[in-house]
Amino acid sequence: MFEVSEKAGEKIQEFLRSVEEIHPVRLMLTEGGCSGPALGMALDEFRDGDEEFHEQGITFLMSKDLFEQVKPVYIDFIETPSGSGFRVSSSLEAGGGCGSGGCCGSCG
């Protein structure tokens, strides 16, 4: 399963309107610091071996192998007194640690 919250979809669409050339949003494994590996997002192109997801008018890409390892995937946008940003949840999370998921580059 691959799911995007309404708020996350709105924020990603808002960002995509600000860039000159629209690209799909790739989810990939990133270094997670003290919490270990995490899923991050960046604009990218389709590659052989990718799984393609369409949510709220946005195209998301993820390596099929990675998706099989981390599914289900849920993207949300959270706002707290200390800041706001994307939260990418998956079975990769082991609980604990000091952070999770995010958006690489200037997405959001």
CATH number of the CATH domain containing 84: 2.60.300.12
105: in domain: no
List per-residue pLDDT tens for the chain, 108 residues long.
999 999 999 999 999 999 988 899 999 998 867 778 889 999 999 999 999 999 999 999 999 999 999 999 999 999 999 999 999 999 986 544 444 444 444 444
In 3D space, the residue among 30, 80, 38, 86 whose CA is nearest the CA of residue 58 turns out to be 86
Cα–Cα distance, 57 to 33 (Å, whole number): 32
106: in domain: no
Q: What range does the domain containing 65 cover?
A: 2-89
10: in domain: yes
Task: Look up the pTM and report it.
Answer: 0.81
- 73-80 sheet: strands from edge to edge: 2-4, 73-80, 83-89
Cα angle 88, 98, 2; round to 5: 10
Residue 32: C-alpha distances to residues 23, 29, 56, 77, 104 (Å)? 25, 9, 27, 18, 12
Residue 107, token pair as written in the block? 């997405």
51: in domain: yes
104: in domain: no
Structural domain tally of the chain? 1
